[in-house]
Amino acid sequence: MGLHEIRKYIAEQGCQHLLQALPSHETLRWVLCTLGSPAIALFLGTADNRDIFAYLVRHGDKSHEMRFCARPVDSDNDMYPIQQDEVMQMPLDAPFKYNADDSNAGKRRFKVFVKWYFMAKGLLEDKEEGENSDYCRRFLNALKVVDEGRTAESISRRELVGGHATPSIVEQSPQDVRTTRGLCPTDPGNSSTPRSIGAKFPTPGNATPPVNAKKNDNEDLTQVRNYLDSVGMLHLLQNIPEPDQLQFFDQKHYPLALPKKLFVGHDTNNNNEIFAYMRYHATNYVIAFLSEGEDGSTTIINQEHVAKSRILHPFNKTYPKSALAIDQTDKSRFSIMVKWYFLAAGIANGIVLKEVKGFPEKFRAVLEFIARRMGSAAVQPPVNQTLVVEPLRVVIPSVHKDQTQSTSTATVACAKTVALATTVARATSSPLTDYDSPTTDYNLPSQQQTALTPRAAKRSAEDVAFEDLRKSFAEEQRLTKEVDKMNANLENLDAERQAFLAQWERQHSEVMEKKRRVDNDRKTVRKNIIDKTRAIPDIRE
């Protein structure tokens, strides 16, 4: 499949304007790259004082594969390979930055998009066999993502200029500057050991705590708190620090990110400070982590690296304590907690609740997970939220023939009915309501007690049915947990496979580079041998 077929497919979908909006391959930067085949690389952007490139490799008769490399800015040093996961976290140049996505589908879409430019430059005459079926579809999706990113970026830029939907920025004031003493709260999970012991905190020269006076104006915060209150989980907020107990700093690393960064801990390898950013990525805001040294150097790190570092409470409670590796669920909890603090501090107003569907419910699940990790140190729910089941009042008809058709109201304590009601309430997770105050308990005649027998039999049958249903629910939950565990194992295996392939590619590239240098040295030595041989006079002369 060549360029003509791809353009034809795009035109049939009515999206040729998206292709025309792309910058031409002639306007992009191409450099020589000894790692590639062909030996040319495409410039993607600059990050951490490094130029990032994409190049192609081909082994034997296999299809070309996309690889990535880097070298210091304004340097002629040899390029060295880097992983795509690292590239996806970097602030790339347009139009590549819009398709930077660290999901598996996103990484494939990014490669398809970049490979288009190699085709347009004539470095790939046709698409190789095996990619024809879905290349056009993925490339069209990439074009749509670029268009959405540009549109959202334009809207965001207009809002920032016009000041209509600008997130609440924390104003700086000399009176509001706080020292690092006490800003790192004591870990409730270990009340005897403050989290700040032995830790090095950033200099709070530009640290600005959230404005508490504007807390009532934070509608997003009020909405989340009202939800927690409606489900009886508002006390869970007492297990985590208030936003003004954490440190926010001005940031200029990501131009399209929120103007503040959140300090979350220290890197165990070099004791660098770790900050969380909410940066604009493609069509929404994502969490990014940077390790910053005292000399001002910055390094992009992933969540796995952050989880193994010395991070503050409650972020260190968002993943299992003994986990050797964190899965996607742990990453989601971590991100939700970081976004909560940006929301609660008034920095991400109108962003988090809009982009994260069901954020209050997800945040509640994170709070419950943190409470379980804290164990007995977690704040217990208030006593008045405990359900008190009162005796059930039932109406029992009279059984005497000589009496008129009337009813007498009596209060009957039915333990099985109460247990059944409690089971149903737990199963449906409905809000608990207060029962009426207890009424006077009357002694029932023997005739009325006899009349209860059919009802008791019916209730017993219902109990059996509900007990069977409860067992079915329990079995379904057990199987669901097993499936989730297997999915996590499969993800870990896939990650290990990708890491192995990446390591193999890196070692293969290093060996190939060494072979190239050795081969050049050998050619030089052979040439010298030939020259020296020619310089030796002929013995016959």
Query: What pLDDT is stored for residue 433 in this prediction?
Result: 37
Lowest mean pLDDT among 121-135, 364-378, 431-445: 431-445
Arithmetic mean of pLDDT over the chain: 75
C-alpha gyration radius of the chain: 33
pLDDT over 90 at 132, yes or no: no
pLDDT digits (tens, 9 = 90+) for 444-480: 444 444 444 454 455 567 777 777 778 888 888 888 8
Residue 340, class by beta-carbon neighbours within 10 Å (0-12 exposed, 13-18 middle, 19+ buried)? buried
Q: Using 50, 70 and 90 to split pLDDT, how confident is the model at 124?
A: confident
Query: What pLDDT is stored for residue 51 in this prediction?
Result: 92
Query: What pLDDT is stored for residue 31 in this prediction?
Result: 92
Query: What pLDDT is stored for residue 198 in this prediction?
Result: 37
pLDDT digits (tens, 9 = 90+) for 393-432: 444 444 444 444 444 444 434 444 444 444 444 444 433 3
> What mean pLDDT comes out for the span 212-226?
74
Query: What pLDDT is stored for residue 67 in this prediction?
Result: 93
Total-model pTM = 0.43
Torsion-angle region of residue 4: left (phi > 0), alpha (psi -120 to 50) or beta? alpha
Most confident of 70-84, 128-142, 143-157: 70-84
Q: Using 50, 70 and 90 to split pLDDT, how confident is the model at 343?
A: very high
% of the chain at pLDDT higher than 90: 24
- Asked if residues 289 and 276 have their Cβ atoms less than 8 Å apart, the reply is yes
pLDDT over 70 at 312, yes or no: yes
pLDDT over 90 at 11, yes or no: no
pLDDT over 80 at 177, yes or no: no
Query: What pLDDT is stored for residue 278 in this prediction?
Result: 93
pLDDT over 70 at 66, yes or no: yes
Query: What pLDDT is stored for residue 425 in this prediction?
Result: 42
> What mean pLDDT comes out for the span 354-362?
91
Amino acid at position 450, single letter:
T
Q: Using 50, 70 and 90 to split pLDDT, how confident is the model at 504?
A: confident
> What mean pLDDT comes out for the span 153-176?
47
Q: Torsions phi, psi of 289, nearest 5?
A: -120, 135
Q: Which two tokens stand for residue 303?
A: 């969540």
Residue 148, class by beta-carbon neighbours within 10 Å (0-12 exposed, 13-18 middle, 19+ buried)? middle
Sequence-separated (6 or more) residues with CB below 8 Å from residue 432: 232, 385, 387, 425
> What mean pLDDT comes out for the span 189-217?
42
pLDDT over 70 at 4, yes or no: yes
pLDDT over 60 at 83, yes or no: yes
For residue 306, the surrounding DSSP H or E stretch is helix 303-307
Amino acid at position 21, single letter:
A
Residue spans per domain, the chain: 3-162, 204-377, 390-431+466-480
Query: What pLDDT is stored for residue 539 in this prediction?
Result: 52
pLDDT over 70 at 301, yes or no: yes
